[in-house]
Amino acid sequence: MNSTARDSDADWTDQDYVESSRNGCPEHFRLLVQRYQKPVFAYLASRMGNPLEAEEAAQESFVRAFLTLKSLRKPESFYAWLLGIAGRVAKEQFRSAAHRERDREAAEVILAEADDNRKDYPLEEVIATLPETYRQAILLRYYEGFSCQKVATRLEMPLGSVTKTLSRAYALLRHELADLNRTLNNELSAIKSHGWPVTLTQEQGADGKSKSVITVEAKSGLLTSDYLKNKFFDTADTRRVYVFDNQTELLDSVKIYIHADAGDKLVFELDQIDCNQPIDPAVFQPQFPADVSWGGQMAMLPDNDKYVAMTSEQAARALLEACGREDWTEAAKFFNPLTTSYKENLGGLQVISIGAHFTSALSLISGAQFVPYEIKLKNGEVKKFNLSLKRDGQTKRWFVDGGI
Given a contact cutoff of 8 angstroms between Cβ atoms, the answer to whether 138 and 130 are in contact is yes
Kindly report each contact of residues 176-185 with a partner whose C-beta sits within 8 Å and lies 24 or more positions away, as own/partner.
176/121, 176/123, 176/126, 176/284, 179/118, 179/121, 180/114, 180/118, 180/251, 180/273, 180/275, 181/115, 181/118, 181/120, 184/111, 184/114, 184/115, 184/251, 185/115
Helix, strand, or coil (residue 402): strand
- As a residue count, the chain comes to 404
The tens digit of pLDDT for each residue in 131-176 reads 767 767 776 766 566 778 887 887 777 877 877 777 777 666 554 4
Q: Which residues pair with 3 in a beta bridge?
A: none
Mean pLDDT of 92-109: 59
Whether the predicted pLDDT of 9 surpasses 60: no
The tens digit of pLDDT for each residue in 350-397 reads 999 999 998 887 776 678 899 999 999 999 999 999 999 998 888 899
Confidence of residue 38 (pLDDT cuts 50, 70, 90): confident
Q: Which residues pair with 214 in a beta bridge?
A: 200, 242
As a 3-state breakdown, the chain gives helix, strand, coil percent values, each rounded to 5, of: 50, 20, 35
Q: Taking Cα atoms as reference points, which of 275, 239, 232, 235 lies closest to residue 254?
A: 239
207: left (phi over 0), alpha (psi -120 to 50) or beta: alpha
Domains and CATH numbers, the chain: 9-94 (1.10.1740.10), 123-177 (1.10.10.10), 304-402 (3.10.450)
What pLDDT sits at residue 8? Answer: 46
Q: CA-to-CA distance for 103 and 215, rounded, in angstroms?
A: 10
Q: What angle, 0 to 180 degrees and rounded to 10, lies between the N-to-C axes of helices 78-116 and 14-22? A: 80
What pLDDT sits at residue 176? Answer: 45
> In the 3-class helix/strand/coil scheme, how is 311-329 assigned residue by residue?
CHHHHHHHHHHHHHHCCHH
Range name among 123-127, 188-192, 282-286 with the lowest pLDDT average: 123-127
Task: Provide the Cα torsion 224, 101, 56, 186; round to 10°.
Answer: -90
Confidence of residue 258 (pLDDT cuts 50, 70, 90): confident
